[in-house]
Amino acid sequence: MNENIIYRGAEAEIVLSDYLGKKVVQKRRVSKSYRIKEIDSHLISSRTRGEAKLISEARKSGVSVPILYDVDLQKGILTLEYLDGKRIKDIINDLDESSRKKICIKIGESIAKLHNCDIIHGDITTSNMILLDDRVHFIDFGLGGKCDEIEARGVDLHVLMEAFESTHSKYPQCFEYVLEGYKKKYCSNANAVINKVDDIVKRGRYR
């Protein structure tokens, strides 16, 4: 099949491609001409490795993510399952209240499962979630990492809170539903994380 660039960002291109007869998505990290070649190669390789590891660990934690078919560290390419579903961003405003609540609770449960394993997604927005087979799949762990601090968990949730406020402002209860799901599955003190989100909001206000 002909390759088709479906997204071009500062750090990577997302390309619709073919792999062993399967329709796939390839995330190809972009080389930066302003960086020293050796440093550029090292950064591309380490970031590709790091993201691949996070995707694998997220799957083990019970969170739905695309299947990782191949990792090319030298070229900085991740070959991933093509998820023929719908972005949460594109559908959540059009759902009835009951369906919207159900999806938001699932989102919260998945974030808790990630956080239980010290996985910080780094860019939790409704653009980085795909609904397929009644499951919310998380994509793009490029800004993610491992961290056991409450602050990092709070920041992760705060990013999603802001995404809801900017993109789905008609439905302010969405984030409350997310927190409901989060409390169900988070193994430690969920209220401590939620209080941290409130702290981050206050910090932003008084800056």
Pair 191, 197: CB distance under 8 Å: no
123 is catalytic: yes
Q: Which helix (H) or strand (E) holds 23?
A: strand 22-29
Catalytic residue among 40, 118, 123, 140: 123
User: What are φ and ψ of residue 13, in 5° steps?
Assistant: -110, 140
In sequence order, which residues have a C-beta less than 8 Å from that of residue 8 and are 6 or more positions away?
14
Contact 3, 58 (CB under 8 A): no
- List all residues 6 or more positions away from 204 whose beta carbon is below 8 Å from its beta carbon: none
Q: Which residues are catalytically annotated?
A: 123
